[in-house]
Amino acid sequence: MVNSPDADDSGYLSPDALVALRNSRLWEAQAQRCSGPERDSALRIAAQWTATFQMLKATTPGDRRVALRRGDRDVNHKETAYLLFVLVGMLAVVIYVVYSHVAT
């Protein structure tokens, strides 16, 4: 049994890398069923997905550099929570300053 180069360490790949690997294989299979310009198009798309997979495999999990779905956003929940914490703190300071000036 020969292992494909794409399959090494597949248990440690990010979900986005697994999506890219699956799409690459699907487009390669589609290219085998087609001929002419359709085959060329499928091979080009498969090559793009393969390049995306290789890039994602080389990065650490969670560092997505390519949006895999149109309109998909990378949301960092830690940054969102920190921003919310800072905003609530600033609001508390503003309320304190306003009430301290009103009381005097």
What pLDDT digit, counting tens, does each position of 8-27 carry?
555 577 788 889 999 999 99
Distance CA 99, CA 82 (A): 26
**CA-based Rg of the chain, rounded to a whole angstrom?**
24
Distance CA 83, CA 78 (A): 9
Q: Which two tokens stand for residue 69?
A: 């779905």
Query: Residue 16 is which amino acid?
Result: D
Q: Tens digit of pLDDT for each residue in 42-70? A: 999 999 999 999 888 887 555 555 555 65
